Amino acid sequence: MWDITRTALHAAVIRNDQEITTKLLEWKPSLIKEVDENGWSPLHCAAHFGYTTIVKQLLHKSPDKSVAYLGIKRGKQTALLIAAKRGHKDIVDLLLSYSPDCCEQVDDNGKNVLHFAMMNKQDYYPGMFLQNDGLRVRGLLNEKDAQGDTPLHLLASYLVDDEEFVKDDRVDKMPLNNENLTPKDIVSRVNDRWLQKVNL
């Protein structure tokens, strides 16, 4: 069902219509910050669908960097968190280069961009964040969410195979979450559940 609070820019972005997006941005750049009833801006939509060119257009025409900090109503996820969760690496890179501080934004559960990257379940993906100085400097590699889980706990939960991330010296290998579990404990639990599920 179409949300009647969406603007023409939302519609152009959702359709991945670069020409109409350009015209609307030239006419009224402030549309970039307009949100629908769920708090979704055109930038959230572009990040969700993985429309890299549209994201570039929006960031280029944005009157200020605050658009990168807008969180949707449900969960307070920013465009960066949405792009990370959906595995849109190019958009994550664009948003981090546009506004490096937006990496410090967390959702309602305290999850940062690395937590969302781990939840994406792509083996090549988490290690790419090790090259980003801004994420390391801010301590995001070992930051805990509301459940006490670090990105490594989530990597273990989703059985993401990323040797580069796991072996990095800056990543704490033995953090305890709120259930007093380390990432290694979680891997054991997940493997046990999988074995029971397949009756082995």
Residue 28: Cβ-neighbour burial (10 angstroms; 0-12, 13-18, 19+): middle
Residue 113: Cβ-neighbour burial (10 angstroms; 0-12, 13-18, 19+): buried
How many domains are there within the chain?
2
Same-domain check for residues 153 and 84? no
Same-domain check for residues 143 and 170? yes
CATH number of the domain within which 67 lies: 1.25.40.20
Residue 112: band (very low, low, confident or very high) from pLDDT cuts 50, 70, 90 = very high
More confident: 63 or 47:
47
Over residues 89-115, the mean pLDDT reads 91
Same-domain check for residues 48 and 146? no
pLDDT recorded at residue 29: 93
pLDDT recorded at residue 198: 40
Same-domain check for residues 127 and 62? no
* pTM score over 0.85: yes
Same-domain check for residues 164 and 69? no
The residue among 79, 105, 131 that closes a domain is 105
> Is residue 1's pLDDT more than 80?
no
Name 103's Cβ contacts closer than 8 Å, sequence gap at least 6.
Answer: 80, 96, 112, 113, 132, 134, 135, 138, 140
Same-domain check for residues 28 and 47? yes
The residue among 61, 76, 105 that closes a domain is 105
The residue among 76, 105, 134 that closes a domain is 105
In terms of residue numbers, what domain contains 80? Answer: 1-105
Same-domain check for residues 101 and 17? yes
Measure the CA–CA gap between 180 and 148, rounded to whole angstroms.
9
Q: What percent of the chain has pLDDT over 70?
A: 84
Same-domain check for residues 117 and 143? yes
Same-domain check for residues 97 and 115? no
DSSP conformation class of 144: -
